[in-house]
Chain A
């Protein structure tokens, strides 16, 4: 498979406090990369570097390179272009305070699509891809905030799909959801594999095992180990990975 994102010597610090040290890794096209690690291991910083949301924190400093399709995202691309191609689903579902339809149409509208028919098609397609269409197709005009937590999170996924990204980042997307909603979100992720590259940061090791093709383990800002999911979970190469997976520290 083709390398979608190539990360070399990535270091991030916030006002002198290191969050990531010398991370090198590749994300392959159309894979789901699970990222696991304890709190403060740098996994969220890693994720937010990939679509330059770290830029919002003025104390953050980044060195090294992140290449998307061969282009360096901090030096060779506009920030809007990066974020349009690499979108993000957050830990808590954040529907915007508008209708379900408007939530999904928000991105395309801002990117200049005005045609009603075209927008309606995008909304339907995105909601179907996120496994939400059947549940909301009769009430697209009602508020996105009235949906249940799991539905809201799938709405957020639909919203990111509507801008036709290439990479989708998930920052602990199921941390506030019940097991059934979690299963639905995971189903959506598996279904999306054929067209999108996905990176899933999760505190739930089992979730990484369920949906991840490969899994990366971060600890204290370092990438300890990355490998095929079944290999990493059954026979980790690094003692620290083994300790984390067996719950011996953390």
Chain B
């Protein structure tokens, strides 16, 4: 073998490594910067507005004063309703697709449809929900209509993550169970699902965040511009944080900026809290996972 002469402008492998690490480090810190900046600004400008009264009272004076209680409750109702609909539906659909459906043209079309659903802009979901639930099914502008619309929007997220979670359960576990004469459904119920739970929860976390934060899908289906009371039933309208924030920022003149930032901070904080709960549950389950 010929020994190559060292090029004049050589960079030692250690220097190369240092450069690479530095670049990678910069890239990943850049990703974190916007998050930190957003939080910093929100906390700095919104924190003064947050007090017990702000969180627990109705808005007053055309939303220029008072609290955001109905918007907080509205968002909680919507997220709750959305998960109640989307989680069972999505998980059941994913189980069918992974465990029962044979690979054929139909199931492939379903999978393509799910992937494409994830790419539909949220305003289209809003219009679809208005057309189907509000007008055609005569639900009116209501929590049901809004929650159903949001549920359709997050279904692809839940189905996709559940499918991946189910597929990640080793085939050998299924065979070990089936080989004992345990039926397929029981195998899914007692071996596959428990071990897929962390992945399913990850999908749920993503779904919750999206459902809580989207404005367009609730715009025509549920969100009330100004409704200083709590909804009376699930067929009532309600206020919701993202829409309220939009209204405060663009539709109402002379709002104190602290109110806007405060509302944004509450919304972000709520999503963060909901996620935190799901993450804690997930890590608790993962700590028991042994393979």
Interface residues of A (CB under 8 A from B): 51, 53, 56, 58, 80-85, 87-88, 90, 92, 94, 96-97, 106-107, 110-111, 143, 145-146, 156, 159-160, 163
Q: List 12 A-B contacts (CB under 8 A).
A: A53-B175, A53-B179, A56-B175, A83-B180, A83-B181, A87-B179, A94-B173, A96-B191, A97-B173, A97-B290, A106-B177, A156-B176
CB pair A51–B179 under 8 Å, yes or no, is: yes
Counting chain A CB atoms within 10 Å of each CB, the highest count among B175, B182, B183, B195 belongs to B182
A-B contacts besides A87-B180, A159-B176, 17 pairs, CB < 8 Å? A53-B179, A56-B175, A80-B181, A81-B181, A83-B178, A84-B181, A90-B179, A92-B172, A94-B173, A94-B176, A97-B173, A106-B180, A107-B181, A110-B182, A111-B182, A156-B176, A163-B181
Which residues of chain B from 169 to 193 have a CB within 8 Å of any chain A CB? 172-173, 175-183, 186, 190-191
With A94-B172, A145-B291 in contact, do A88 and B179 touch (Cβ < 8 Å)? yes
Residues of the A chain whose Cβ atoms lie less than 8 Å from the Cβ of B186:
110
B42 shortest CB reach to chain A, Å: 41
B6 contacts the other chain (CB 8 A): no
CB pair A111–B102 under 8 Å, yes or no, is: no
Residues of the A chain whose Cβ atoms lie less than 8 Å from the Cβ of B183:
80, 110
Residues of the B chain whose Cβ atoms lie less than 8 Å from the Cβ of A106:
177, 180, 182, 190
Chain B residue nearest to A160 (CB atoms) is B180
B289 contacts the other chain (CB 8 A): yes
Q: Cα distance A220–B105 when bound, in Å?
A: 35
B214 shortest CB reach to chain A, Å: 37
Chain A residue nearest to B189 (CB atoms) is A110
With A80-B183, A83-B181 in contact, do A143 and B290 touch (Cβ < 8 Å)? yes
Q: Cα distance A139–B183 when bound, in Å?
A: 29
B190 shortest CB reach to chain A, Å: 7
Q: Cα distance A143–B181 when bound, in Å?
A: 23
Q: Cα distance A85–B181 when bound, in Å?
A: 8
CB pair A90–B190 under 8 Å, yes or no, is: no
- Which 9 residue pairs across A and B have the least CB separation, nearest first? A84-B181, A83-B181, A107-B180, A88-B179, A94-B176, A145-B290, A110-B182, A94-B172, A80-B181
CB pair A80–B179 under 8 Å, yes or no, is: no
CB pair B172–A110 under 8 Å, yes or no, is: no
Q: Cα distance A87–B172 when bound, in Å?
A: 14
Residues of the B chain whose Cβ atoms lie less than 8 Å from the Cβ of A96:
173, 176-177, 191
Q: Cα distance A88–B182 when bound, in Å?
A: 12
A156 shortest CB reach to chain B, Å: 7
Residues of the B chain whose Cβ atoms lie less than 8 Å from the Cβ of A88:
175, 179
B142 shortest CB reach to chain A, Å: 43
Residues of the B chain whose Cβ atoms lie less than 8 Å from the Cβ of A87:
179-181
Residues of the A chain whose Cβ atoms lie less than 8 Å from the Cβ of B290:
97, 143, 145-146
B51 shortest CB reach to chain A, Å: 48
CB pair A56–B181 under 8 Å, yes or no, is: no
A69 shortest CB reach to chain B, Å: 15
With A96-B173, A96-B176, A156-B176 in contact, do A111 and B191 touch (Cβ < 8 Å)? no
Residues of the A chain whose Cβ atoms lie less than 8 Å from the Cβ of B102:
58
CB pair A159–B175 under 8 Å, yes or no, is: no
Residues of the A chain whose Cβ atoms lie less than 8 Å from the Cβ of B180:
83-84, 87, 106-107, 110, 159-160, 163
CB pair A160–B179 under 8 Å, yes or no, is: yes
Residues of the A chain whose Cβ atoms lie less than 8 Å from the Cβ of B289:
97
CB pair B172–A107 under 8 Å, yes or no, is: no
Chain B residue nearest to A102 (CB atoms) is B190
Residues of the A chain whose Cβ atoms lie less than 8 Å from the Cβ of B195:
97
Q: Cα distance A46–B58 when bound, in Å?
A: 73
A165 shortest CB reach to chain B, Å: 8
With A80-B181, A106-B180, A111-B181 in contact, do A97 and B172 touch (Cβ < 8 Å)? no
CB pair A90–B181 under 8 Å, yes or no, is: no
Q: Cα distance A224–B159 when bound, in Å?
A: 50
Residues of the B chain whose Cβ atoms lie less than 8 Å from the Cβ of A58:
102
Q: Cα distance A81–B178 when bound, in Å?
A: 11
CB pair B175–A90 under 8 Å, yes or no, is: yes
B103 shortest CB reach to chain A, Å: 9
CB pair A110–B190 under 8 Å, yes or no, is: yes
Counting chain B CB atoms within 10 Å of each CB, the highest count among A51, A84, A97 belongs to A97
Chain A residue nearest to B180 (CB atoms) is A107
A43 shortest CB reach to chain B, Å: 17
Q: Cα distance A163–B102 when bound, in Å?
A: 30
B48-71 vs A, CB cutoff 8 Å, 1 = contact: the mask equals 000000000000000000000000
Q: Cα distance A85–B179 when bound, in Å?
A: 10
Residues of the A chain whose Cβ atoms lie less than 8 Å from the Cβ of B191:
96
Which residues of chain B from 242 to 291 have a CB within 8 Å of any chain A CB? 289-291
Residues of the B chain whose Cβ atoms lie less than 8 Å from the Cβ of A51:
179
A92 shortest CB reach to chain B, Å: 7
Residues of the A chain whose Cβ atoms lie less than 8 Å from the Cβ of B172:
90, 92, 94
